[in-house]
Amino acid sequence: MLSSTADNLFWMARYMERSENTARLLTGLYHMSLLPARRGAQAGLWEGLFQSEEEREAYLAKYDAFKTDPVLTYMVLDRDNPSSIRSCVWSARENVRATRHVLTTDMWETINSTWLDIAQVTYADMQDMGHHEFLEWIKVRSHLFRGVAHGTMRRGEAFEFWRMGVFIERAENTIRLLAARAHTFKPSGPASRPDTATLDYYQWGTLLRSVNAYKAYREIYKSQIDPRRVVELLILNPEIPRSVIACVEETCEVLEGLRPRSRSYEQGSDLLNRLQAARIDRIYRTGMARFLEDYRAGLHDLSLQIQRDFLMIQ
């Protein structure tokens, strides 16, 4: 397969996955912004979305405050924001368009109709429909696309590069989701003090729901929601499809199938080993924020190495 085609497939998967993850993230935050404890403290909540200085600056260049309406406009529909949901769908669609000849017609039709729909949407439409319903719709369209890809693509290289894009993006997003709350992690002490237990319940409950892991948490831990266990579940539990370890496992599997003697596979395996050997208590002791930051850098390096080994970086 052409390297550029593989590159398109990889990014098509990443952008589509990213649009879904942004929808999930926003659903969670929007939900929290409506909670009683959050009234009046919205600024901090929405501001947490912008993790780097460039992201903050780009936002503040267009809008003056971190409030629900402008932030949602920016993150969902703003065509100047390259990571808005609209832009992600557009980029995914352009990548599909460039590789239509290796994809099934159903995949093209799915992404194209999603694009044609979202291209028309205004913020007023979104309010009419309800933020929750709208974000849910994005999620469903992403599910649909993934389902169509899974159900119609020939099991060959194209499928594998698509799969790899999905999992690398998903791993990065789960880390991002946790990093947004890294400042609330305390290195020691009891899991939850009684006075913050209610808030924790809502916050972490919402987080779990936004990655469809709430029920899994209940089944596995059968206890009240403890941030440490939430983190354990979302980083180290391979049974959870959006956990970091599950995503890295899938990525390694793809790399092993593609070319077991590549630098990419080596790097992927290292990343996987790090998680397999990790214990949540140790992660806590060394510092949650630092762990997430290191791991995110590791994933980024892996993504670059994949591009060097197979894709368009020479």
Contact residues toward other proteins (CB under 8 A) are 1-6, 90, 94, 97-98, 100-102, 105, 108-109, 112-113, 116, 119, 157, 161, 258, 310-312
Q: What would the DSSP string read from start to end of 161-185?
A: HHHHHHHHHHHHHHHHHHHTTGGG-
To the nearest whole angstrom, how small is the minimum distance from the Cβ of residue 94 to other proteins?
7
To the nearest whole angstrom, how small is the minimum distance from the Cβ of residue 89 to other proteins?
12
Picking from 308, 309, 311, 10, the residue whose alpha carbon sits closest to that of residue 167 is 10
Q: Between 289 and 312, whose beta carbon lies closer to other proteins?
A: 312
Q: Between 77 and 216, whose beta carbon lies closer to other proteins?
A: 77
To the nearest whole angstrom, how small is the minimum distance from the Cβ of residue 100 to other proteins?
5
Q: Between 38 and 100, whose beta carbon lies closer to other proteins?
A: 100
The encoded tokens of residue 28 equal 């969670």
To the nearest whole angstrom, how small is the minimum distance from the Cβ of residue 21 to other proteins?
23
Q: What are phi and psi of 309, to 5 degrees?
A: -75, -35
Q: Between 237 and 262, whose beta carbon lies closer to other proteins?
A: 262
The encoded tokens of residue 253 equal 């599997």
Query: Which residue's structure tokens are 């009234």?
Result: 39
Q: Between 101 and 222, whose beta carbon lies closer to other proteins?
A: 101
CA atoms lying within 13 Å on the CB side of residue 113:
10
Q: Between 5 and 33, whose beta carbon lies closer to other proteins?
A: 5
Picking from 30, 158, 21, the residue whose alpha carbon sits closest to that of residue 98 is 158
Q: String of b and e for 48-74 (b: at least 16 CB within 10 Å)? A: bbbeeeeeeebbeeeeeebeeebbbbb
To the nearest whole angstrom, how small is the minimum distance from the Cβ of residue 101 to other proteins?
4
To the nearest whole angstrom, how small is the minimum distance from the Cβ of residue 96 to other proteins?
9
